[in-house]
Amino acid sequence: MAVERTLSIIKPDATRRNLTGKINAKFEDGGLRIVAQKRVQLSKAQAEQFYGVHRERPFFGDLVSFMISGPVVLQVLEGENAIARNREIMGATNPANAAEGTIRKEFAESIEANSVHGSDAPETAAQEIAFFFAGIELVG
């Protein structure tokens, strides 16, 4: 298995409820290392560009509004098979389908306010990391 990096976002529903530490413990206990992290308020333009692949979906406008409704924590997670591993730790997109012990099962409020985002493939991970982080911010 290769060491990979993936982009993670702790979403506004989770920062609002002060869950950053509890979510980070799930990543670390699950074998991932947080190699970069910053708390920011996304602009509408940034959120629209980041989620551009979903532009035609009916939930796009609500998703963008939600993602700019409060601060988010942007992170790069590193580890063996980090992209798939992070998706296991997060659980299914819809918390109603998420397995016991996952972040979304424990913390998500709805399919929209689902506490975390994680990249879904190596190509998107590379793009999403580069969208938010400069190389100098990744210290390993």
- Summarize as ranges the residues that interact with ligand CMP (CB under 6 A): 54, 59, 63, 93, 111-112, 114, 117
Phi-psi map region of 18: left, alpha, beta (phi>0 left; psi -120 to 50 alpha):
left
Residue list, annotated binding site for ATP: 11, 59, 87, 93, 104, 114
Beta-bridge partners for 34: 77
Q: Let me know if 117 is a catalytic residue.
A: yes
Burial tier of 71 (Cβ tally within 10 Å: 0-12, 13-18, 19+): middle
| Nearest distance in Å: CB 70, ligand CMP | 15
The residue among 75 and 114 lying less far from ligand CMP, judged by its C-beta, is: 114
The residue among 35 and 63 lying less far from ligand CMP, judged by its C-beta, is: 63
* CA distances to 51, 86, 102 from 25, in Å: 26, 13, 12
Which residue of the chain is nearest ligand CMP when measured via CB?
117
Residue ranges of E strands in the chain? 3-10, 33-40, 72-80, 116-118
- Residue from 14, 117, 125, 133 carrying the catalytic annotation: 117
Type of residue at 21: G
| Nearest distance in Å: CB 38, ligand CMP | 18
The residue among 3 and 53 lying less far from ligand CMP, judged by its C-beta, is: 53
Active centre residues (catalytic): 117
